[in-house]
Amino acid sequence: METLSNADIFVKNTAKTVDNLYYPKFHIAAESGWINDPNGLIYINGYYHFFFQHYPYASKWGPMHWGHVISKDLVHWEHLPIALYPDEDYDRGGCYSGSAVNNNGVLTLIYTGNVWLGKEGDDTHIRQVQCLATSTDGINFIKHGPVLYPPEGIMHFRDPKVWRARNSWWMVVGARPENNLGEVRLYQSSNLTDWTFVRVLDQAETSDEGFMWECPDFFNVNNKVILITSPQGIPAQGYDYRNLYQSGYRCGVWENDTSYTVQEEFKEIDHGHDFYAPQSFTAADGRRIMVGWMNMWNSPMPTQKQGWAGAFTLPREVKYTEHGRLLCTPIVELEQLRSDYTTLKPFSLTNISSTLAEQYQEYKISFDLANSTAEQYGIAIGDGAKLFIDAQSQRLVLKRESKDSTLNTARSIPLVACSKINLHIFVDASSIEVFVNDGEYSLTSNFYPTNGNAKISFYAENGEAVISTSEFWKLSNIFSNCSE
């Protein structure tokens, strides 16, 4: 039987005082305190395990622990005791991000141990090593110490993603070499403890491609090999790369265990305000599922005053199309949360707004672009956000609205030539996830409506908007009916 640590007890007690105004209903978050990157996503021994970067003692970043939730169905979740603590000489500055593997039935975590060599938070004097921990019960973990040290001249060396393929264990690690051109390094092992450097898998060629490539992921989907990175240091380019840091992917071919040939250049995964450090894993039925951190570094986080900060995106099934795009769609299991279904017949609006009588959480809406004449039309979500078609710029825009100018910003995607646009939208207490045309694009952002009012209103300005499909559902709480 596991016992609760002082940190767990602190979280449980603090959770009783958390203000629930903006706390998510169907997104994974800590009971209280801070979370960032998803870690160790895995299905093993009948359960899905999701871990996360966690500081239990405040709603701000601090020495990282690994929080832990489990599920039998990817829908209903249970919080478990904290899995990793920064309590050894090699990880006393934080148990940073990593991954999990099934080693003959043993749940095995591979993570970065961080040590501050100077003042805490001073990234110019650190040591980062890759460490191993195991569990036989899926709850309590034994640390086995470092298994991989950084190459000479590299301090920033973190976020190992490990997988089994071609009769070997493989690991990709993000690194920042002395030339400040981010890279992903590839390693190989027969036993998870002795690792051999294979090659630099991919790297930035110019400073505009990022000085550090965090949270690498490397996997095969639809017979294409995808390399995901979260580069730091890419400057904004027009409508693209508007966040402080980005997360994106390249498609290529991995041959002869060593060579990786890039076929498609870097593309952003999500185009909203709050999506970073995604990690993927293989579901029980073989699907590739991805989860990201639903926040962004150095961005406003009003929930910190309420005792918590950070959440995960919804799990997304990942596919790759013949047109060179990664498709991300919400997993079908989420339909288990639905209730109170409502649909409206096709209708149109002309220079007017129409508010739904009730507040829903899931929406499927199709706008008839060919027959709409309005300059701007879409939906408003309370007074916190708008999602609309801008006919003049030919873009779909997600705009946060707030008296705080740092929150009052927009993100957008181009509208390709088409007669309609299909939107699958999830609105939680303080977040919105938009999936466009069956996952061709997605936009994920946090927003903060007054008094939690997230009712939607259809509206049209300077012309007519035609809505051909509109379906709505209420969604139940993912932590209210956890599987035992």
**What's the rounded Cα separation, in Å, for the pair 421 and 348?**
15
CB atoms < 10 A from the CB of 32, how many? Answer: 23
Residue 226 CB-density burial (10 A; 0-12 exposed, 13-18 middle, 19+ buried) = buried
Question: Tokens in use for 415?
Answer: 């509208």
Q: How is domain 335-475 classified at the CATH fold level?
A: Jelly Rolls (2.60.120)
Q: What local confidence, expressed as pLDDT, does residue 481 receive?
A: 46
Secondary structure of the chain: what % helix, strand, coil (to 5)?
Answer: 5, 55, 40
Residues 337-361 as b or e (16 or more Cβ within 10 Å = b): beeeeeeeeeebbeeeeeebeeebb
**Cβ atoms of 274 and 292 closer than 8 Å:** no
Alpha-carbon separation of residue 302 from 111, 289, 295, 402 (angstroms): 30, 29, 12, 11
Q: In angstroms, how far is the first alpha carbon of the chain from the final one? A: 15
**What's the rounded Cα separation, in Å, for the pair 147 and 144?**
8
Evaluated on CA atoms 74, 228, 82, 149, the torsion sign reads: positive
* Nearest alpha carbon to residue 411 among 445, 458, 448: 445
**What's the rounded Cα separation, in Å, for the pair 116 and 89?**
11
**What's the rounded Cα separation, in Å, for the pair 343 and 348?**
15
Q: What local confidence, expressed as pLDDT, does residue 2 receive?
A: 47
Catalytic residue annotation: 37
* Nearest alpha carbon to residue 360 among 453, 270, 460, 227: 453
DSSP letter for 7, please.
H
**What's the rounded Cα separation, in Å, for the pair 97 and 66?**
8
* Nearest alpha carbon to residue 66 among 15, 115, 100: 100
pLDDT single digits (tens) 347-374: 999 999 999 999 999 999 999 999 999 9
State whether CATH 2.115.10.20 applies to domain 6-330: yes
For residue 91, give the amino acid letter: D
**What's the rounded Cα separation, in Å, for the pair 444 and 56?**
25
**Cβ atoms of 309 and 295 closer than 8 Å:** yes
**What's the rounded Cα separation, in Å, for the pair 393 and 334?**
34
Contacts of residue 125, Cβ cutoff 8 Å, sequence gap at least 6: 116, 117, 118, 119, 155
**Cβ atoms of 443 and 434 closer than 8 Å:** yes
For residue 480, how far is the Cα from the chain centroid? 23
Q: Name the 3-class secondary structure at 108.
A: strand
254-259: long-range pairs with CB below 8 Å, 24+: 254/218, 254/225, 257/166, 257/168, 257/188, 257/198, 258/186, 258/198, 258/199, 259/199
Question: Tokens in use for 209?
Answer: 């491609």
**What's the rounded Cα separation, in Å, for the pair 17 and 23?**
12
**What's the rounded Cα separation, in Å, for the pair 212 and 208?**
11
Task: List 152's β-bridge partners, or say none.
Answer: none
pLDDT mean by block of 10 residues, the chain; 484 residues:
77 94 97 98 98 97 97 97 97 97 98 93 90 97 98 96 95 97 97 97 96 97 94 97 97 80 91 98 98 97 97 97 91 98 97 95 98 98 97 96 92 91 98 97 97 95 97 94 42
* Maximum separation of any 2 CA atoms in the chain, in Å: 67
**What's the rounded Cα separation, in Å, for the pair 128 and 124?**
12
**Cβ atoms of 401 and 408 closer than 8 Å:** yes
* Nearest alpha carbon to residue 337 among 477, 454, 455: 477
Q: What local confidence, expressed as pLDDT, does residue 257 receive?
A: 65
**What's the rounded Cα separation, in Å, for the pair 329 and 312?**
15
Q: What local confidence, expressed as pLDDT, does residue 3 receive?
A: 57
Q: What local confidence, expressed as pLDDT, does residue 1 receive?
A: 34
- Spell out the domain ranges in the chain: 6-330, 335-475
Q: What local confidence, expressed as pLDDT, does residue 272 receive?
A: 98
Q: What local confidence, expressed as pLDDT, does residue 205 receive?
A: 95
pLDDT single digits (tens) 292-311: 999 999 999 999 999 999 99
